[in-house]
Structure 1
Amino acid sequence: MSASTQVPEIFGSLVFNDHVMKERLPKETYKALKRTMEKGKSLDPSIANIVANAMKDWAVEKGVTHFTHWFQPMTGVTAEKHDSFISPTEGGGVIMEFSGKELVRGEPDASSFPSGGLRATFEARGYTAWDPTSYAFIKDNALCIPTVFYSYSGEALDKKTPLLRSMEDINRQALRILRLFGDTETTRVTTTVGPEQEYFLVDKKLYSQREDLILTGRTLFGAKPPKGQEMEDHYFGSIKPRVMAYMKDLDQELWKLGILAKTEHNEVAPAQHELAPIFSNTNTATDHNQLTMEIMKKVAARHDLVCLLHEKPFAGVNGSGKHNNWSISTDTGANLLEPGESPRENAQFLLFLSAVIKAVDEYQDLLRVSVANAGNDHRLGANEAPPAIVSMFLGDELTEVLESIANDAPYSPKCTEVMKLGVHTLPRFPKDTTDRNRTSPFAFTGNKFEFRMLGSTFSISGPNIVLNTIVAEELSQFADVLEQSADFNADLTKLVKTTYQEHKRIIFNGNNYSDEWVAEAECRGLLNLKSTPDALPYFVADKNVALFTKHKIFTSTEMLSRYEILLENYSKTIGIEALTMCDMVKKQILPAISKYTDKLCRSALDKRALLPSISCEMEETLITKLTSLSASLCKKVNQLDDELLKVKEHEGSAKELADYYKDVIFASMQEVRAVADELESVCSQEDWPFPTYSKLLYDI
């Protein structure tokens, strides 16, 4: 049997999915669970024991002995505590049991997870609760049950809870709009996401020789290699056999978990690649992306590779992002962001589009905050990713449609053109009515928006919580107006018109990488929040607290806790990098340069001993340069050490500390690196203490 014919058989084979539930659950239990999953109905507690027993039987048949509540704390990665199914019987035996109580609720220790002040260290009780809208699955020989995570006093300690709240909210507000258009069939509106995941692969042996990669996920040192991505020959290029074997293995593992891995290719930078899935609802997509990142790393280890998910593992070449393709769909199969054949006449689409435009403009700060971390600061604005300025790309056609409405002018739809390639044997096909813009942070791409600012390590929950909530807010405002309307069509047209006129500043169809756009954006009054410490205070601005509390996504306390966690994470990240940098300079780079300098000195002395008149200009030049640079590096790393000792003076507030790390520590790190990278360029390859960029990027 070929590998391709096996795919339908292995797909979802490790998932307690709809097919398995329908086969193993009593008919009424199955129907009740499906109502919860598809319609958002409350789950009947009485069915928990039935579902738990069926899950256990299915898992045990596959050799599983343990179960775990799989949750997503504020660490940005997933967490799990494993318990076995065994239960003691009389006579010293055991049976395999799994109760409804164990399925529905768990009680992990909550004291050591980030809480941003929500919990004191001695207050340990936390709860996990089953999320029945996400399928259970088998991973590492354990039954994994997707759950939410919250504190003893009821605050959300995870990323899934607010995401589910935001999905409920946009469902409510979108249904209000659909009812105004006479849609009585739709009972559920969901947002859908297809997150494209970029990553690097490096050889495991080379990785293990780099303390910076091991401890921080990125190279803190590295001179520019003779060849980077200048030739643009890696993008979509032929995939190396070793990488192809990895991709094939990765696909197999993801398909077993029901993850719709679809597209894979080489990315722009050498050793960089991308995986893109098919769309699924936002909750499932978030779970699947967390699993994808974990499986990527595990599969890489099998191939003696390491998967790097840091936003900027190598200076001088493109970093890695995650493109969040977001849309709004109904349970009747409609895409609410589909323009149709005549966008100008599609009033429902125009209203939803207007809500997104208004949301992105009014809450551009929240969108920027949702993608803020220390790693992503290296990418945004670096002409390899969108700038830190949030704007929207609509394309010429939609922009012209909205301009015609705003100006009460007629609109002449573009005729579909046939793409002519100048060769008779090549097929002809219809040309799209507008081009794409790969520099835009938030681009409309036919029937969805591509939010391109996410970093590759990100959980997609945060950005989608923001997207769902801000669009729900605008839909609720629109519904408030139109539900009181005496002339629906006239008021709808007026709403679309005024929304575009008041918020068109957020729309930019040009080159977001240009200096001219930065200046123009400032004139338009758009925010340019260049760093994480600059952006994060906007999260707890009064208008944003009012937004999230109004829609019951976060309490004000939950928002303040997340603000503290994000600031602390930034400071800790820079702190670890700075300490690692000092360690590598003192224990590896300076000793290596001293050793190489000693070799040169002995070489010069040996030559003169042999022949006093012989030229030692090469050795003398190198010795002089190495000595000077070594002294400079020693001075700069000592300065960085001193600045790290002063960190405690700035621990009065999380914001003050983050600013100190950004303005002082990170700036000094750049100076240390500049000298070290120059030393690498004059040191012999034999004596340099760790693999260079040329090896890391090309030795696969």
Structure 2
Amino acid sequence: MTKNVPELFGSMVFNDEVMKERLPKDIYKALQKTIADGLHLQLDVANVVAAAMKDWAIEKGATHFTHWFQPMTGVTAEKHDSFISPEPGGKVIMEFSGKELVKGEPDASSFPSGGLRATFEARGYTAWDPTSYAFIKDDTLCIPTAFCSYSGEALDKKTPLLRSMQALDKQAVRVLRLFGNTDVKRVITTVGPEQEYFLIDQSVYDKRPDLIYTGRTLFGAKPPKGQELEDHYFGTIKPRVSEYMKELDEELWKLGILAKTKHNEVAPAQHELAPVFSTTNIATDHNQLTMEMMKTVAGRHGMACLLHEKPFAGVNGSGKHNNWSISTDTGANLLEPGATPSQNAQFLLFLTAVIKAVDDYQELLRLSVASAGNDHRLGANEAPPAIMSVFLGDELSDVVDSIEKGVDYHDKEKTLMSIGATVLPHIPKDTTDRNRTSPFAFTGNKFEFRSLGSTASISGPNVILNTIVAESLSEFADELEKAEDFDSALDKLLRRELVAHKRIIFNGNGYSEEWVEEAERRGLSNLKSTVDALPVFIQDKTIELFTKNKVYTESEICSRYEILLENYYKTINIEAMTLISMAKKDIMGAALEYQYTLAEVFNAKQATGVAVTAKTEEKMLAKAASLTEALAERLDKLEADVDKVDESADALEIAKYYREVIFSDMSSLREVIDDLEVVIPSDIWPYPTYGEMLYSIK
């Protein structure tokens, strides 16, 4: 591995340093102004940038370029074109124009559009996003782009994200002006997404069609050892995994991705990678690349990387903690409380805006993390509940209480925490602990949105976070801009809003049944499944929010609603068909073979004429026969219920059917398969077990 990390970092990125070096000063300044002011790039500037980008990429070994974009599939897309251009005499030259840099025209008809595009309306456009640097991957120059239809509708995840950042920027700057901050030109949101994942040996992965087709195991009996001893968490990293992590770091650093932390997670074979914060748009691009690289590098090491939210039942699943904050172009963190948060009026206003946003749009925030995969994880003792709430910690909660009561608050000084061993130093104690059961927790100078699933694009949740906070700030600015006495109006606003939205603040155990009951008394929403959450997207309140802030048009909202519903029930359909195939082809055969073996032993004993008992074989055979009969019955029911799906029905009705009927059938079938796995000998059982998979990396 390369030891000179600063030299390695960003070596495959056409970043600011490279642009400064390779672009004429006037072109560089024009490009930076375009990025800073959000202007359209002039073609003469684009031509010079494109030529410099091409020369740099060719020097790095690139032969092709692609507009790298994020359609509503949730993964990335790319169409590669070579730099070659024909010359007389059968020769070629390497060319790349400003027009090719700025705009591409991939076929849009085959991507999910939720009705925005008909199949015959194929044209779509990709447009360069100059705020996210181009990079080289697999000898291809990748240009991050937005993706839209011929008529201008957003067909991707990047465009709404950029719009939401723009909406929050506009409203946050309005608020800062009220506090006399005239030097701030721009406000951005930043994100540091922690990524959890599993690693198993490729050989066992290849023998599990359910992992290959669905990303998760559809059956599997609990192994003798899971995570009960809690010895894997932060444990010594196995050499093979360590080598993988080293190469993964190197690949990510080349791409300018700030991979920072790596460690073992709670479940066997589970790990985590966390980056340093970056601008939300770039963080989203980088997280998509991180997931891709995780899988690619794993293959080089003879392993498979599992990114599903719940690849194995009975042990912790994988999430993606979205650490979100708001910063200015002057470097200030607007969610930094400072030494005396009770006296930091600007911080308190932004904090109140976030609290109000989460309360007003709690159902929408829940929707942002809804998926078939995440339904397996949310609410279990490994992830936050489906109920949205805000954790503030003791100090900020006391500040909120004092504002509500209209009394002075004396800021708590950090106390020294004695650990008990005299050789160890006294450590300043934080005034806020971490609450791992909270879906939305304040952790010092940011909020940690912990409900995201591990496979999710972070774009969707951050579009919603940015937009709902922009809406709160807009309402605050409207009110305060009209005030004759700003200080008095601010005091009144803070007290009113904190009282109105205090119900969303909860510092206790989010896993407890008591909280579920308390949340209901407070009037908080509890949308337990994706099917429950998705209709929130097309409510009048949601449409008004997004259209007012110019993040989505109404047609774009409706299209995403349809896409999410289709993705949900198609995911469960694929799982059901995979389970049916595995049960019919191999598990039923193994069950019958096991019965045949037992019957042979039973008959052989009987044939000896010796007065020996065959009660054990008889008992085992009866149990195997009973389980096999149950397997056949439940398999038949699942097949029959899948055949009953009415494809012409409303998408929501289809999704409900899959949730209430098919998912239930699959769970019932799984129970009997897991029971069979426990009794059938390993030389007959056709698939690697949980123990073999979770402990496959030595």
Same fold, judged at TM 0.5 (above): yes
TM-score using structure 2 length:
0.99
Q: How does 1:18-37 map to 2 (within 5 A)?
A: 18-37=16-35
Amino acid at match of 1:386: P
User: Which SS does the other structure have where 1:228 is aligned?
Assistant: coil
Map of 2:500 onto structure 1: 502
- In structure 2, how many angstroms separate the alpha carbons of the residues matched to 1:375 and 1:77? 15
Bigger mean CA offset, 44-53 vs 629-638: 44-53
- In structure 2, how many angstroms separate the alpha carbons of the residues matched to 1:555 and 1:410? 45
Instruction: Give the CA deviation at 1:434.
Output: 2.0
Do 1:36 and 1:133's aligned partners in 2 also have CA atoms closer than 8 Å? Answer: no
Amino acid at match of 1:366: L
Amino acid at match of 1:664: V
Q: Please say if 1:690 is aligned against 2:690.
A: no
Map of 2:676 onto structure 1: 679
> 1:348 pairs with 346, 349, 357, which one?
346
Do 2:432 and 2:443's aligned partners in 1 also have CA atoms closer than 8 Å? Answer: no
User: Which SS does the other structure have where 1:29 is aligned?
Assistant: helix
Map of 1:514 onto structure 2: 512
Do 2:179 and 2:346's aligned partners in 1 also have CA atoms closer than 8 Å? Answer: yes
Map of 1:267 onto structure 2: 265
Q: How does 1:15-414 map to 2 (within 5 A)?
A: 15-414=13-412
- In structure 2, how many angstroms separate the alpha carbons of the residues matched to 1:187 and 1:163? 20
Map of 1:419 onto structure 2: 417
- In structure 2, how many angstroms separate the alpha carbons of the residues matched to 1:168 and 1:534? 30
Do 1:65 and 1:141's aligned partners in 2 also have CA atoms closer than 8 Å? Answer: yes
> 1:656 pairs with 653, 656, 661, which one?
653
Bigger mean CA offset, 602-611 vs 380-389: 602-611
Map of 1:441 onto structure 2: 439
Instruction: Give the CA deviation at 1:37.
Output: 2.9
Instruction: Give the CA deviation at 1:435.
Output: 1.3
Instruction: Give the CA deviation at 1:415.
Output: 2.1
- In structure 2, how many angstroms separate the alpha carbons of the residues matched to 1:637 and 1:377? 23
CA RMSD of aligned residues (A): 1.0
Do 2:432 and 2:444's aligned partners in 1 also have CA atoms closer than 8 Å? Answer: no
Instruction: Give the CA deviation at 1:611.
Output: 5.4
User: Which SS does the other structure have where 1:454 is aligned?
Assistant: coil
Amino acid at match of 2:671: A
Map of 1:583 onto structure 2: 581
Do 1:175 and 1:189's aligned partners in 2 also have CA atoms closer than 8 Å? Answer: yes
User: Which SS does the other structure have where 2:385 is aligned?
Assistant: coil
Map of 2:666 onto structure 1: 669
User: Which SS does the other structure have where 2:14 is aligned?
Assistant: coil
Instruction: Give the CA deviation at 1:41.
Output: 4.0
Instruction: Give the CA deviation at 1:272.
Output: 0.4
Do 1:387 and 1:513's aligned partners in 2 also have CA atoms closer than 8 Å? Answer: yes
> 1:466 pairs with 464, 467, 470, which one?
464
- In structure 2, how many angstroms separate the alpha carbons of the residues matched to 1:251 and 1:67? 24
Seen in structure 2, the aligned counterparts of structure 1 residues 336 and 579 have a Cα distance that, compared at 3 Å, is: same
**Deviations 1:322-373 (CA, angstroms, capped at 9, x unpaired):** 0000000011110000000000000000000000000000000110111011
> 1:432 pairs with 411, 430, 433, which one?
430
Map of 2:591 onto structure 1: 593
- In structure 2, how many angstroms separate the alpha carbons of the residues matched to 1:443 and 1:45? 46
- In structure 1, how many angstroms separate the alpha carbons of the residues matched to 2:87 and 2:126? 28
Do 2:638 and 2:665's aligned partners in 1 also have CA atoms closer than 8 Å? Answer: yes
**Deviations 1:611-636 (CA, angstroms, capped at 9, x unpaired):** 53222222211111010000011011
Do 2:2 and 2:8's aligned partners in 1 also have CA atoms closer than 8 Å? Answer: no
Bigger mean CA offset, 532-541 vs 408-417: 408-417
Do 1:485 and 1:491's aligned partners in 2 also have CA atoms closer than 8 Å? Answer: yes
Amino acid at match of 2:678: S
Instruction: Give the CA deviation at 1:5.
Output: 3.8
Amino acid at match of 1:613: A
Bigger mean CA offset, 276-285 vs 608-617: 608-617
User: Which SS does the other structure have where 2:598 is aligned?
Assistant: helix
TM-score using structure 1 length:
0.99
- In structure 1, how many angstroms separate the alpha carbons of the residues matched to 2:546 and 2:242? 44
Do 1:604 and 1:616's aligned partners in 2 also have CA atoms closer than 8 Å? Answer: yes
Amino acid at match of 1:698: Y
User: Which SS does the other structure have where 1:548 is aligned?
Assistant: helix
Map of 1:13 onto structure 2: 11
- In structure 2, how many angstroms separate the alpha carbons of the residues matched to 1:41 and 1:403? 45
**Deviations 1:164-206 (CA, angstroms, capped at 9, x unpaired):** 0001111111000111111111111100000000000011000
Do 2:357 and 2:472's aligned partners in 1 also have CA atoms closer than 8 Å? Answer: yes
User: Which SS does the other structure have where 1:137 is aligned?
Assistant: strand
**Deviations 1:456-475 (CA, angstroms, capped at 9, x unpaired):** 00000000000000000110
Instruction: Give the CA deviation at 1:81.
Output: 0.2
Do 1:365 and 1:539's aligned partners in 2 also have CA atoms closer than 8 Å? Answer: no
Instruction: Give the CA deviation at 1:512.
Output: 0.2
Residue identity over aligned pairs, in percent, reads: 68
**Deviations 1:588-607 (CA, angstroms, capped at 9, x unpaired):** 10001111111121122223
Do 1:16 and 1:55's aligned partners in 2 also have CA atoms closer than 8 Å? Answer: yes
Do 1:39 and 1:187's aligned partners in 2 also have CA atoms closer than 8 Å? Answer: no
Bigger mean CA offset, 195-204 vs 606-615: 606-615
Amino acid at match of 1:304: G
Instruction: Give the CA deviation at 1:39.
Output: 4.4
Q: Please say if 1:529 is aligned against 2:527.
A: yes
- In structure 2, how many angstroms separate the alpha carbons of the residues matched to 1:324 and 1:108? 31
- In structure 1, how many angstroms separate the alpha carbons of the residues matched to 2:648 and 2:35? 46
Map of 1:645 onto structure 2: 643
- In structure 2, how many angstroms separate the alpha carbons of the residues matched to 1:38 and 1:584? 55
